[in-house]
Chain A
């Protein structure tokens, strides 16, 4: 008879009325944010940054501005440029994470926040001082070593530059061997006094292009 499906619909809505709401009241409660969340508040470790500007070259929108001055001495192996400017204009940032993917030294990380609204566009530029002083809660986006350690950027403690690198990280070898599921947690990453392997930058990066195809892209 005409109307039976309509009555069924009425029952569905009545049943839903008694259910717990699926929305949350934002400022008081929040949905769970996953560790890989690509957020604002880029985390940048000056100690790790060599000023190579891979991030700036790789940014699809060209919103990272890096000005360096060469070292006074002839650059030796492991030396780096002195940074004068490191501006990220998050006016136009689309949080694609390609800069993080391009960084070969684990110096740049996506942030974990999303509440950095400003009233003026000028304030939307994160400059080098801001980056230096900010609390460092790096997202685990494209940083498996952090994910392995079970680090949660929301609620975790700020990380020191010595704790975030790939030095003691064996992930990519294991992935190439095809066993990347259920990774063991390296104990040294979460301890208060990190034991840092001093030899870094020796790993061959998954993401670093071989020399034959690398190119200098004008910004």
Chain B
């Protein structure tokens, strides 16, 4: 006797604990197995690109905070690099170091959150997540000390950073780096070689390198597929040309490799932060640019950084006015999301959630 079965279509999201925001997946299941995936996004669309056309160049910094709200510093950096290219402004050395330092701290915070939620999606009841947040909290405290806000930092300005670090920032940073080693080791011990994590993530949702390149995937997801593609190495911006660090890559392209690459990148980021502290010298932190900027008409610039999720780019066109004629954001999360269907079909419901976690998307950036 055969049992008659039929596929079942389920809407995962837009309100679901594991879609990392208001994101919806229309999935057709055969039992637990995925037959069809259709990602539907746009629930968090705020029209950032259009809003930017109404604001002047400094005010847009506050909009960039809200793109990928767990790595605001890096967004600020990308945008400011674009404006500086537009204006041809030289950024003071100290500002460059401060930017590199804060961006790397932000990368640590973002990856900690990525790892934490990835493991949360694996079903760990929040233990590694809480340990990750314990460290992330310290980083956000440092940001509060630096610029008065924790998430929406608005720390950088075209031409540098808005202000130098307060005097008590440096001892606090040293203390954080000292404590972080032990705290981070705990997370690694807890989960990195856990057999259940291995069996759940090894060989699951493989992203082959050719597909990754064709789909324009970037960041840790691309590096997990085996290509050492990192803009901090290839086109160093700010102070990265003076930093020594490695680009960790893995060859599998499965969920575990994406997770592993993030774990390793945190080590490298801490290395960069330490070098920044050694190399930074006193000096001005902001180029002598006015608050209201007027780039020449017709100027175009593309600012690009290696954000925590991949290549983040801001393309600006000026018409000579005080606000850009057009701002285009190349957001890594959106590009990384395009491979979802290839990754998920044939795997199970539980794998789908974990894969979304391993891609580490941020809906603030996907929908903009």
Q: Which residues of A contact B (CB under 8 A)?
A: 2-3, 5-6, 8-9, 12-13, 15-16, 22, 31-38, 58, 60, 94-98, 101-102, 110, 139, 141-142, 144, 147, 175-176, 178-183, 206-210, 213-215, 217
Q: Contacts A101-B291, A209-B291; is A217 near B148 (CB within 8 Å)? A: no
Interface size of B by CB at 8 A reads 47
Interface check B6, CB cutoff 8 A:
no
Q: Is the CB of B127 within 8 A of A13?
A: yes
Q: Contacts A102-B291, A215-B322, A217-B322; is A38 near B149 (CB within 8 Å)? A: yes
What are the 4 closest A-B residue pairs judged by CB atoms, nearest first? A209-B290, A38-B148, A5-B193, A60-B59
Majority SS at the chain A contact face: loop
Other-chain contact of A6, B192, B196, B284 (Cβ < 8 Å) = B196
Q: Is the CB of B144 within 8 A of A36?
A: yes
Q: Tell me the complex Cα distance, A110–B154, Å.
A: 14
Other-chain contact of B148, A16, A36, A179 (Cβ < 8 Å) = A36
- Number of CB contacts from chain A to chain B under 8 A: 116
Q: Tell me the complex Cα distance, A141–B163, Å.
A: 9
B96 surroundings in chain A (CB, below 8 A): none
Interface check B214, CB cutoff 8 A:
no
How far in angstroms is the closest Cβ of chain A from B24? Answer: 27
Q: Is the CB of A95 within 8 A of B322?
A: no
By beta carbon, the residue of chain A nearest B55 is A60
B56 surroundings in chain A (CB, below 8 A): 217
Other-chain contact of A215, B162, B285, B292 (Cβ < 8 Å) = B292
By beta carbon, the residue of chain A nearest B286 is A206
Q: Is the CB of B134 within 8 A of A22?
A: yes
Other-chain contact of B164, A12, A180, A208, A214 (Cβ < 8 Å) = A180
Q: Tell me the complex Cα distance, A213–B55, Å.
A: 16
How far in angstroms is the closest Cβ of chain B from A33? Answer: 8
How far in angstroms is the closest Cβ of chain B from A93? Answer: 11
By beta carbon, the residue of chain A nearest B152 is A94
How far in angstroms is the closest Cβ of chain B from A68? Answer: 21
Q: Is the CB of A213 within 8 A of B283?
A: no
Q: Is the CB of A96 within 8 A of B290?
A: no
Q: Is the CB of A217 within 8 A of B134?
A: no
Q: Tell me the complex Cα distance, A180–B282, Å.
A: 7
Interface residues of B in 166-212 (CB under 8 A from A): 166-167, 186, 189-196
How far in angstroms is the closest Cβ of chain A from B50? Answer: 14
B192 surroundings in chain A (CB, below 8 A): 5
Other-chain contact of A2, B127, B154, B195 (Cβ < 8 Å) = B195
How far in angstroms is the closest Cβ of chain A from B96? Answer: 15
Q: Contacts A9-B189, A142-B163, A217-B322; is A181 near B62 (CB within 8 Å)? A: no
Q: Is the CB of B186 within 8 A of A207?
A: no
Other-chain contact of A97, B127, B154, B196 (Cβ < 8 Å) = B154
Interface check B78, CB cutoff 8 A:
no
Q: Is the CB of A94 within 8 A of B62?
A: yes
Q: Is the CB of B62 within 8 A of A60?
A: yes
Q: Is the CB of B282 within 8 A of A178?
A: yes
Q: Contacts A36-B146, A98-B58; is A213 near B294 (CB within 8 Å)? A: yes
Q: Is the CB of A6 within 8 A of B194?
A: yes
Interface check B341, CB cutoff 8 A:
no
Interface check B141, CB cutoff 8 A:
yes
B141 surroundings in chain A (CB, below 8 A): 31-32, 34
Q: Is the CB of A96 within 8 A of B162?
A: no
Q: Is the CB of B290 within 8 A of A214?
A: yes
Q: Is the CB of A144 within 8 A of B163?
A: yes
Chain B 28-71 near chain A by CB (<8 Å), digits 1 or 0: 00000000000000000000000000011011011101000000
Q: Tell me the complex Cα distance, A182–B171, Å.
A: 13
Q: Is the CB of A175 within 8 A of B164?
A: yes
Q: Is the CB of A58 within 8 A of B167?
A: no
Given A38-B147, A97-B148, 14 other A-B residues pairs in contact with their CB atoms under 8 A: A5-B192, A6-B194, A15-B186, A35-B166, A36-B148, A36-B166, A37-B144, A38-B148, A60-B62, A96-B152, A97-B154, A98-B62, A101-B162, A213-B294
B148 surroundings in chain A (CB, below 8 A): 34, 36-38, 97, 110, 139, 141
Interface check B293, CB cutoff 8 A:
yes
How far in angstroms is the closest Cβ of chain B from A74? Answer: 28
A36 surroundings in chain B (CB, below 8 A): 144-148, 166
B292 surroundings in chain A (CB, below 8 A): 209, 213-215, 217
Q: Tell me the complex Cα distance, A111–B345, Å.
A: 52
Q: Is the CB of A142 within 8 A of B162?
A: yes
15 contacts between A and B (CB under 8 A): A5-B194, A6-B195, A6-B196, A9-B191, A16-B131, A60-B55, A96-B65, A98-B59, A178-B282, A181-B164, A209-B290, A209-B291, A213-B292, A213-B294, A215-B292
Q: Tell me the complex Cα distance, A175–B65, Å.
A: 27
Q: Tell me the complex Cα distance, A4–B285, Å.
A: 51
A214 surroundings in chain B (CB, below 8 A): 290, 292
Q: Tell me the complex Cα distance, A1–B162, Å.
A: 54
